[in-house]
Amino acid sequence: MKPPSLNAQILIGALAGIALGLGMASLGGTSTLTQSGLYTAGLIGTVFVDLLKMVLVPLVFTSIAVGVANLRTHRQMHRVWIMTLGFFVLSMATAMLLGMGAANLFTPGKGLDIALFQDSMQHFEARHMTLGEFAQSFLHGLFMNPFAALAQGNVLAIVIFALFLGIALVMGGERYRNILGLLQESLEISLRVVGWIMKLAPLGIMALLAKLVATQNAALLASLGKFVAVVLGTTLLHAVVVLPLMLYAVTRIGPLYFFREAREALITAFATSSSSATLPVTLRCVEQRLHVKPEIAGFVVPLGATVNMDGTALYEAAAALFVANLVGVDLNLMQQMIVFATAMIAAMGAPGIPSAGMVTMVMVLQSVGLPAEAIAILLPIDRLLDAFRTAVNVQGDMVGSMVVQELLQPRSRSTLPHRETPGRAR
């Protein structure tokens, strides 16, 4: 019998992980079985994430430089930039409107007794950062010594340097043929290594999800139930309605086909809560399964992994309204617009790592004078919400690369292999 495909194995791994997590949760944290299960799951999950991070830096660097160099003309590069950033801003704005709309409608946090949380707030010290300071540190982090950026795994700075390198390669043309060839081969090697790591994905994902499910604090989740429902409801709405609609409107690709082919990356994002760690899988999925050309995927996806965060933007905006309700502050339209703008900047500035959104959210709260300490209330439930928003962040990057490809070369559709046609709506 033929073994199930990797895509199917990952799905089986995810379901088994959830089942194992529920099993451990029902045994309770004191059971030795749960403890050794959590230990083993932690070990396997960490190794899987570390392997992905290992290949992340060479992959991002080479894929952007090669991608940009292969765009060849300046005019094309210019259009890719505009379309990519345009798509990122539009999809994040839509996500935030959804989150803020629902938060205004259902007013989560109203009527909750803030005194209940006083203790955790007292023991939490938020790192205060004004918008100016944030902008300064963000800009400062963009341009770095490339070797330092590579060594520190600073994805955004690597993206920027690789962009410069790619443009220089385009301008130098034939002259830099050897360097381009070297980068191209390095990219191929990195992708080959990703292929090996993916063999471990079903097990890694099973371990990560088992731990995630087993360590949820159900009582806390229930006490913040309305807020959790608003965030999860709107995040899912964005994932299953808004993004697929955007994709369909431009490319005529149907959601079933998309979700089937994007599954590997979406499940990995959910399990790791890190767009950056998922990046090798996202790139592979977008190029090999969704047939986006490497020069477009290599540019849009790594950039998106650090700046395009629909789920994070939605979360930050909704959470600010939740905190306002909790402390009894009514935010007027002007203040909500400030929340909208700062949440977008904060999401763009958040690195693609677990709980990064919680850190940059301090800035959103401060922009309208809300107490940053209120984050302490949300931290214990963040692991679960982070899983969902990271999956949507990654989905946005994948949809973005497909939309940009279509807008750039509408005829590229006809180059898709035949077997894909049934899943496509047209």
Residues that bind ligand ASP (CB under 6 A): 273-275, 309, 312, 350, 352-357, 386, 389-390, 393
State how far Cα 220 lies from the chain centre.
25
| Closest-approach residue to ligand ASP (CB) | 357
Instruction: Give the shortest CB-200-to-ligand ASP separation in angstroms.
Output: 20
Instruction: Give the shortest CB-421-to-ligand ASP separation in angstroms.
Output: 33
Q: What distance in Å separates the CA atoms of residue 373 and residue 370, rounded to the nearest whole number?
A: 9
Instruction: Give the shortest CB-313-to-ligand ASP separation in angstroms.
Output: 9
Instruction: Give the shortest CB-273-to-ligand ASP separation in angstroms.
Output: 5
What is the largest distance, in Å, between two alpha-carbon atoms of the chain?
A: 68
Instruction: Give the shortest CB-266-to-ligand ASP separation in angstroms.
Output: 12
CB closer to ligand ASP out of 37 and 354: 354
- Six token digits for residue 270: 């959910």
Instruction: Give the shortest CB-390-to-ligand ASP separation in angstroms.
Output: 4
CB closer to ligand ASP out of 274 and 367: 274
Instruction: Give the shortest CB-152-to-ligand ASP separation in angstroms.
Output: 17
Asked whether 130 and 342 are in contact (CB, 8 A), the reply is no
- Six token digits for residue 110: 């109203």
CB closer to ligand ASP out of 197 and 353: 353
CB closer to ligand ASP out of 306 and 405: 306
CB closer to ligand ASP out of 347 and 370: 347
CB closer to ligand ASP out of 117 and 270: 270
CB closer to ligand ASP out of 370 and 378: 378
Residue among 317, 368, 323, 383 at smallest CA distance from 345: 317
